[in-house]
Amino acid sequence: MNQRLDDMHTQIKDLQAKVSPLTDSVYKTLVEATADTFKNINDDIQTFNTETMGQQENLRAIIEKHVQQYREAVEPFISEQSAKSVAEFEALKTRLFPIIQNLRQQFTTNVEETKAALMPIFENGREKFVKHVEILKQMADPYVNEYKEQLRAALTQAQSLNAGDATALQAKIEPYTEGIKTNLQAIFEAIVSSFNKQ
């Protein structure tokens, strides 16, 4: 029984020795394989900013125009009313009501105008983002599938153990699983870090 546990322990150590270079290799390969893609993403962001600069300026001009319209509609009223007393408050409400109604109508129209200017910018950016996410997914799929197959094989081998052997084996391999978790975490952190640098 002890010999069998020792043999299984040795097999697990061998498996970990095989998997560790794989996880290191997967990490390095993913970083190298995605370097051009990240450069392309960065280039596309720069291109996007250049392509939409005119649209962004148009949007800025529209918003400034709207703010100026609001200011012009309200300023004469505020200037005139600031000099009057509080006793005329009811008369103020009566005069202010049509102005507020007019501003509400302008606001609704202006929201639609702003949305129409903003949507081409949004759609352009969304299309580029979706394209790059799909490229990254296609690049990572072969590595993920290979890793899954190796894990599946290890699980199949581990399932052939009886309950007592499995418990003893679990106690022996638990320290090694932490190393695997650490390597996988490092891979994902590197990927996220690469995205954040863009």
Structural domain boundaries in the chain:
2-11+19-28+56-197
Cα–Cα separations (whole angstroms), residue 68 to 10, 61, 113, 125, 146: 78, 10, 15, 29, 61
C-alpha 67/C-alpha 145 separation (Å) is 55
93 band by pLDDT with thresholds 50, 70 and 90: confident
Whether residue 198 has pLDDT greater than 60? no
113 band by pLDDT with thresholds 50, 70 and 90: very high
What pLDDT does residue 59 have?
A: 92
Q: Please enumerate in sequence order all residues whose Cβ is within 8 A of that of 1, keeping only pairs 6 or more positions apart, or say none.
A: none
The whole-number average pLDDT for the span 110-137 is 85
Lowest mean pLDDT among 12-16, 38-42, 76-80, 88-92: 12-16
C-alpha 121/C-alpha 49 separation (Å) is 9
pLDDT digits (tens, 9 = 90+) for 2-21: 676 777 777 777 766 666 76
C-alpha 87/C-alpha 146 separation (Å) is 82
What pLDDT does residue 1 have?
A: 59
Whether residue 65 has pLDDT greater than 60? yes
What pLDDT does residue 152 have?
A: 73
What pLDDT does residue 36 have?
A: 83
Do 23 and 183 touch, CB atoms closer than 8 A? Answer: yes
